[in-house]
């Protein structure tokens, strides 16, 4: 059964691989892609999404621009990881496909309300600003969304922006609080999973061996993107975060986690953006999210590499 999905994203090299995986996979139907402000400002993420779609030979995909910054506070970006363009490591031509006129938040609301209840999945790969804003504007979508699958948070792995907070949650903790409290089924792909899917030399070499213009761009992204985390963690390769969200939709058996309560710290300066996951069930708080912790990393990379091969070789 093909799953209808909306991807909300802030490319970002890892976001790019997630989008490519989705566009290469018949298990999912991408209804639209909404740009979030995160890794780099909205003007760049909304351009980067279109570059990725054109690289995949999919100028037909509807791309929308979302909110310019978090629901509260100012935008914090991550050029220090992703480079000035947000997708350093590969030079792609300026996109020619259009940006849709409709605001991305309105697209999310309209699409969820227009489709049968329980049929649309929302995948967030960046700060949850657009989904949080949509839920605040039209709370009725919460009861109609099939599931929300989000890259974000961390527990046993801690944070990657502060000791407590992962980037996507740190940038917009208020939006994450709204999403986690909305009542829709939620799957979180935290750093506890993504730190187990490293872009090791062998895995990058397997992508390189595909030998296409697309795989060359992917290798360029991976080799640029991983350098920050390799230096930070002293590992062979860096965590590949966002494609885990799409891989979960295609092969959920690759992942294991636990339904538990997850709350978001929004007040403390020290721990703002922390995902407080009650993994051991020490509270009576409602179990509102499946917090993933384990992954078959080799299975993940086998899926990703096999699907990249399906994309056009000369787009």
Active site positions, annotated: 241
> Of 166 and 242, which CB lies nearer to Ca ion in the complex structure?
242
Binding region for Ca ion (CB under 5 A) out of 69-77, 93-101, 118-126, 230-238? 118-126
The tokens for 306 are 């096999």
Tell me the angle at which helices 201-208 and 297-308 cross, rounded to the nearest 10 degrees. Answer: 20
Strand partners of residue 275: 264
Residue 173, CA atoms < 13 Å, CB-side half-sphere? 20
The answer to whether 20 touches 62, Cβ cutoff 8 Å, is: no
> Of 10 and 278, which CB lies nearer to Ca ion in the complex structure?
10
Least distance between Ca ion and beta carbon 193 (Å): 14
CA proximity to 265, closest of 182, 184, 162, 156: 162
Q: Is 167 in the site for ligand RIB (CB under 6 A)?
A: yes
Q: Is 168 in the site for ligand RIB (CB under 6 A)?
A: yes
Total residues found in the chain within this entry: 315
Name which of ligand RIB, Ca ion, none residue 278 binds, using a CB cut-off of 5 to 8 Å depending on partner kind.
none
Q: Is 83 in the site for Ca ion (CB under 5 A)?
A: no
Q: Is 172 in the site for ligand RIB (CB under 6 A)?
A: no
Among 5, 13, 15, 53, binds Ca ion (CB under 5 A): 15
The tokens for 48 are 């980067």
> Of 232 and 287, which CB lies nearer to Ca ion in the complex structure?
232
Rounded-to-5 percentages of helix, strand, coil across the chain: 40, 20, 45
Interface mask toward ligand RIB for 242-261; x: CB under 6 A: x-------------------
Among 7, 56, 109, 125, binds Ca ion (CB under 5 A): 125
Least distance between ligand RIB and beta carbon 220 (Å): 16
Question: What is the total count of residues that contact ligand RIB (CB under 6 A)?
Answer: 15
CA distances from 119 to 8, 29, 141, 146 (A): 17, 11, 12, 5
- Supply angle C-alpha 96, 247, 225, rounded to 5: 60
Binding residues for ligand RIB (CB under 6 A): 10, 12, 14-15, 38-39, 125-126, 151, 160, 166-168, 241-242
């Amino acid at each position: 059964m093909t799953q209808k999905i909306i991807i909300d994203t802030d490319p970002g090299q890892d976001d790019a691989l997630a989008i490519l995986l989705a566009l290469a996979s018949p298990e999912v139907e991408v209804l639209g892609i909404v740009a979030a402000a995160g890794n780099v400002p909205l003007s760049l993420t909304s351009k980067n999404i279109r570059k990725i779609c054109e690289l995949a030979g999919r100028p037909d995909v509807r791309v929308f621009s979302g909110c310019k910054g978090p629901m509260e506070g100012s935008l914090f970006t991550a050029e220090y990881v992703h480079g000035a363009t947000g997708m350093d490591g590969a030079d792609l031509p300026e996109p020619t496909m259009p940006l849709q006129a409709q605001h991305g938040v309105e697209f999310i609301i309209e699409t969820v309300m227009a489709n049968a209840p329980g049929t649309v999945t929302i995948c967030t790969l960046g700060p949850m600003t657009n989904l949080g804003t949509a839920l605040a504007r039209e709370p009725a979508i919460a009861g109609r969304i099939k599931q929300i699958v989000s890259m974000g948070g961390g527990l046993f792995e801690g944070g990657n922006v502060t000791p407590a907070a992962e980037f996507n949650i740190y940038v917009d903790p208020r939006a994450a609080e709204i999403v986690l409290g909305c009542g829709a089924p939620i799957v979180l792909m935290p750093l506890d999973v993504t730190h187990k899917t490293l872009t090791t030399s062998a895995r990058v070499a397997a992508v390189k061996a595909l030998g296409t213009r697309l795989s060359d761009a992917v290798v360029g992204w991976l080799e640029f993107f991983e350098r920050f985390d390799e230096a930070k963690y002293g590992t062979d390769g860096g965590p590949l975060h966002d494609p885990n969200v799409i891989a979960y939709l295609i092969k959920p058996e690759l992942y294991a986690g636990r339904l538990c309560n997850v709350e978001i710290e929004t007040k403390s300066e020290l721990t703002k953006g922390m995902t407080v996951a009650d993994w051991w069930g020490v509270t009576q708080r409602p179990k509102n999210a499946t917090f993933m912790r384990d992954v078959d990393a080799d299975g993940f990379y086998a899926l990703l590499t096999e699907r990249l091969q399906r994309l056009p070789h000369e787009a």
